[in-house]
Amino acid sequence: MNASVTEDLGTSSVTEFDVRDPDRSTQVKGFEGTIGENTLDNPKISTRNVNISYGEKQAIFDASLDIGRNEVIAMIGPSGCGKSTYLRALNRMNDTIVGCRVTGDLTIDGEPIYAHNMDPVLLRARVGMVFQKPNPFPKSIYDNIAYGPRIHGLTRTNAELDEVVVTSLQRAGLFEEVKDRLDAPGTGLSGGQQQRLCIARTIAVSPEVILMDEPCSALDPIATAIIEELIDELRANYTIVIVTHSMQQAARVSQRTAYFHLGKLIEVGETNQIFTNPRHELTENYITGKFG
C-alpha cells in the first residue's frame, strides 16, 4: 500500500482518533473497567483485552466485548473514541494501515482472528464491511455485485451468478429500482442507492457478520430510513456491528449498545437500558447530549 493510506482514510479511525493529540487517551476519570453485560454465552465474535495502537498512540485500551449471533450491536461514542478502530480490527482491515498494532484475544466462532493460519482475505469474506461513504466500483451495477462471487468462485454457471446478483439486490431492497439497468454504472446511482448497492455487494459473498462504519452519515433522512429498515431485516441472517454517530439510529436498529469513550469501552448493555437507564456517568452525559 502506498504512503498516503494513513492520510486519506476518510472513514477510518485515524480521522476519529487524533493521533497528534498527546496523552488524550489516558484522561478518562473514574474508569474502572467496563460496566454491563459485555460477555455472552456462545458469541459469534469474542474479543478479550483488546489493545490497538497506531505507532506510539494507543487507540483502544483493554476492551473486552462479545458480539452475539443474529444481533445488531451499535457502537456509539464521541469522535475519536476508537469505535471505528475497534470495528476495523474485527475483519483485519487495520492490516492495511502502516504502524497499526492489535493485541488481545479476538475470535470468530472460536477461531483466533489474528492467528498466523487465519488468512485475512478469507476472514473478510466471512466478515464483510460497509463504509461511511458509498464506494461502488467504477463498474456496472451487475459487475459490482458479481465482483465478490467471481473472485471467490462461489458460482459455477452464469445463471447461478445472475441469481446471486438478483437475490443480493433484492435483499438490499434495491432490485426493483435497478432491475432494468443492471448494465448502468454503479457510480451513477444516488447516494442512498449506492450505499444499498454496497450492502448488496457485501451480502453477495454470503458473509456471517457485516460491519457497518457509519453507513448512513452521508445519506439523507429518507435513504437513512430505508437502510435502517434493511438492517433490521438483515438481522435474520447476519450478525451486524454498526458504528454510528446518531443515537436515534442506535436506538432504532440495535438490540445491544456499546459506549466507547477515549479508547475505553465504558458500558455495554441492552439498547433500551443504555438509553433509558445508563449506569455510567459518562454514558449518561453522552446520551443526554452534555458532550459529543
Partner 1 sequence: MQTTTLVIVIAGLSLISYYTGRTRAQAYRLDGRLLALPNQYGYLTAMWSALPAIILLLAWLAFEPGYLNDQVIANLPAAAQQLPTEELALLVNNVLLAVGNGGLSPDPVIEDAAAAYLAAREQSRMLVTGLILLLCLSGIIFSLTRYLTRLHARKRVETVIRWFLMLCSGVAIVTTVGIVLSVLFEAIRFFESVPILDFMFGTTWSPQTAIRADQVGSSGSFGAIPLFAGTMLISLIAMTIAVPVGLLTAIYLAEYASPRFRSAAKPTLEILAGIPTVVYGFFAALTVAPFIRDLGTSLGLSVASESALAAGIVMGVMIIPFVSSLSDDVITAVPQAMRDGSLALGATQSETIKQVIIPAALPGIVGGVLLAASRAIGETMIVVMAAGLAARLTANPLDAVTTVTVQIVTLLTGDQEFDSPKTLAAFALGLMLFVSTLLLNVVALHIVRKYREQYE
Question: Can you read off the three cell numbers belonging to residue 124?
Answer: 473478510
Q: Which of residues 78-117 bind partner 1 (CB under 8 A)?
A: 91, 93, 96, 98
Stretch that binds partner 1, among 53-61, 69-77, 165-173, 197-205 (CB under 8 A): 197-205
Nearest approach, Cβ of residue 96 and partner 1 (Å)? 7
Q: Please state, in angstroms and rounded to a whole number, the distance separating the CA atoms of residues 24 and 80.
A: 10
Query: Is 167 among the residues that bind partner 1 (CB under 8 A)?
Result: no
Shorter beta-carbon distance to partner 1: residue 143 or 267 = 143
Contact pattern for partner 1 over residues 174 through 193, marking x by CB under 8 A: -------------x------
d(CA 109, CA 272): 27
Q: Is 99 left (phi over 0), alpha (psi -120 to 50) or beta?
A: left
Q: Residue 13 Cβ, how far from partner 1 at the closest point, in Å?
A: 12
| Cell numbers 492467528: residue | 115
SS3 of 7-24: CCCCCCHHHHCCCCCCCH
Q: Are 253 and 232 in contact (CB under 8 A)?
A: yes
Q: What are phi and psi of 111, to 5 degrees?
A: -90, 130
Name the one range near partner 1 by CB under 8 A: 17-25, 27-35, 78-86, 147-155: 147-155
Q: Output 137 or 175, the one with its CB closest to partner 1.
A: 137
Write out the residues near partner 1 by the rule CB under 8 A. Answer: 1-5, 8-11, 91, 93, 96, 98, 121-126, 128-131, 133, 135-139, 147-148, 151-152, 187, 198, 201-202, 205
